[in-house]
Amino acid sequence: IQIKFVRFALNFVPHTKDSKLFITDTTFENVPVTIYQPKKINPGLRKGLLFLHGGCGTFGSKRLYSAICCYLSRESDSVVVFVDYRLGPEHQHPAQLSDALATTMCFMKHAKDYGVDPNHIILAGDSSGGTLVAMVSQELAKIGNQPKIRAQILIYPFLQRMDFMLPSHFQNQYGPFLTKNMVFHLGLKYLNKECVDIKKLERNAHVPEDMKQKFKKWISADLIPGEFKAQGYNPPMPAPFSKELYEITKLNDKTMQSPIISEDDIIKQLPETYILTCEHDILRDDGLLYKKRLEDIGVPVTWNHLKEGFHGFLTFINSGVFEFSFTRPAVGNIVSFIKGL
């Protein structure tokens, strides 16, 4: 996968404009952002939604996400902020998290300047953007940030890097759109690292046995409801532990890229959560496991599962013949959630 080619191709995606919105480019803490504000007069303060895009931390642009940002702002009557955070591998992890956290705190601090109620700010993101949303929400819980985030919206998120042998990793390993090979190659590019044996990595050779045992209460195929194993689930034996793979893939903070394994005292502070999962998505089970993790500790969760859905469908909204039949109802469900907060 050539990241430069993907970025080049995305430059040809039409940039969506909307006559009902003010669209402004500016910066929050030196990070480029685009602000979408409804033109119609609102006597009070609106909700604010900060959107973190997907692309495995290596690609993604405001062009690609302008349609969904316009739609969410217009239909939910909210101020939407799109964050153009730094990308890897040029900017190594955790640059993306640093930008996401900085822009979130800046938006919360100056919310009223944009006609936004600081008590009604929502974080939203798709794919690796959903990862960033989960991590930012947890970072804010750690520092006791006030006011608190009102809600988080996770759209087919990547939430753990401990177990690559969940049912969805086998059922959807060939896509559509996101394949198992893409997950590993893009993930390693994001970390600016190379891996010599993907076959061992996909059989969890990067995780020591004691770590597997410690976190299996939160990450395990046994926790996935039986209905999601109906297609068949007969995984091979895990590969023996490889210290080399462990060193290649480890992060200084084990919860980074695996927000599902954060401690209970952090998880229980998280805001009301919306999780969207897709049946035909290799990351489906990450969302299912996080849903259970949050519900078990008492965090309110709204879950929408698309039986026809697949990874990446969100960016096809307003794309004419390329928009799928389930796209607008799915986004409408998100809009309803935002309006109900």
Domain that holds residue 321: 3-340
Please confirm, yes or no, whether 242 is among the known catalytic residues. no
pLDDT tops 60 at residue 111: yes
Report the range of poorest mean pLDDT among 126-140, 247-261, 288-302. Answer: 247-261
pLDDT tens-digit profile of 214-245?
999 999 999 999 999 977 788 889 999 999 88
Report the range of poorest mean pLDDT among 74-78, 105-109, 145-149, 163-167. Answer: 145-149
Mean pLDDT of 279-292: 98
Query: What 3 state SS string does 232-290 have?
Result: CCCCCCCCCCCHHHHHHHCCCCCCCCCHHHCCHHHHCCCCEEEEEEEEECCCHHHHHHH
pTM, two decimals, is: 0.96
Average of per-residue pLDDT values in the chain: 93
Q: Outline where 18-85 has alpha helix (H).
A: 62-76
How many domains, the chain?
A: 1
Cβ-in-10-Å burial (0-12, 13-18, 19+) of 247 comes to exposed
Within 10 angstroms of residue 265's Cβ, the number of other Cβ atoms is: 10
What whole-number distance in Å separates Cα of residue 332 and Cα of residue 187? 31
pLDDT tens-digit profile of 22-57?
999 999 999 999 999 999 999 999 999 999 999 999
pLDDT tops 60 at residue 1: no
pLDDT tops 90 at residue 179: yes
Catalytic residue among 127, 128, 168, 262: 127
CATH number at residue 319: 3.40.50.1820
Within 10 angstroms of residue 298's Cβ, the number of other Cβ atoms is: 10
What whole-number distance in Å separates Cα of residue 187 and Cα of residue 261? 19
pLDDT value of position 227? 94
